[in-house]
Amino acid sequence: MEIIPIHIEKEIEPSDDISELVSNYHDIKDGDIIVVAQKIISKQEQRMIKLSTVVPSLLSQGIGSQYQKDPRIIELILSESKRIIRMKNGIIIVETNSGFICANAGIDESNVQEGYATLLPINSDISAQTIRNNILKQTSKNVAVIISDTFGRPFRMGQTNCAIGISGLNPIVDYEGTLDSFQKVLRVTAIAVADEIASAAELVMGKTLKCPIVIIRNYSFNIEEHVMEELIRPQNEDLFR
């Protein structure tokens, strides 16, 4: 399997065609998986907010004061969330409008100009599908696309890249009912391959390397239609909600 970085020096703008950037920077092959960092999707989809335009509510001001956070960021977090899951030690964990459980609703001030913050795409599956369809039109190559972002994890230090949008592949490989090497039947083994691929891509993406797009090549998978919701654990099965 190959992990091929695509370095892009220019700042992404709403007028940019991300699929065109991919095909211009590298030859695409059938069966490639294109992993795209959420940040450039948000910039291209105009999900970048000028903080001076945000008017924080009294609730946002109160939370901001308690947690030493910019109340304008708190206001954005609340507007992008279904509900707050936990608030402790300055950390705000929420369920986003898209159903992700993450810190700060994915709102980020890194890698954007001072005074701005980026929000998550409204629907990352649609973002991935659009890029995939455009690559097919431009190159006649059938690929899969993953939109990735950096998430923390319960019980583990550090962060890792996870899939937040998919098109063209099954995000989970389920081994239930198959036999292990000792001929025992596997019952609950389901591997989140979309997250593993996103994490593999992050090894060359980094945070300061100007590498927002990665090609994963020679990973064996079937082109299938699936949605991100399949990777989100239902609330009734979630021990932390």
Question: Do 100 and 60 share a domain, yes or no?
Answer: yes
Give the confidence band of 176 by pLDDT, cuts at 50, 70, 90. low
Q: Given 120, 141, 163, which residue is the final one in a domain?
A: 120
Question: Do 179 and 137 share a domain, yes or no?
Answer: yes
Domains held by the chain: number? 2
Q: Look at residue 158 and tell me whether its pLDDT is greater than 70.
A: yes
Q: What is the CATH number of the domain that holds 108?
A: 3.90.1660.10
Segment 39-62, tens digit of pLDDT: 999 999 999 999 999 999 999 999
Question: Do 174 and 219 share a domain, yes or no?
Answer: yes
Question: Do 31 and 52 share a domain, yes or no?
Answer: no
Please check whether residue 237 lies inside any domain of the structure.
no
Question: Do 88 and 143 share a domain, yes or no?
Answer: no
- Domain of residue 76: give its range: 48-120
Model-level pTM?
0.92
Question: Do 14 and 81 share a domain, yes or no?
Answer: no
235, two tokens: 């609330």
Strands 33-37 and 213-217: antiparallel
Segment 87-107, tens digit of pLDDT: 888 789 999 999 999 999 999
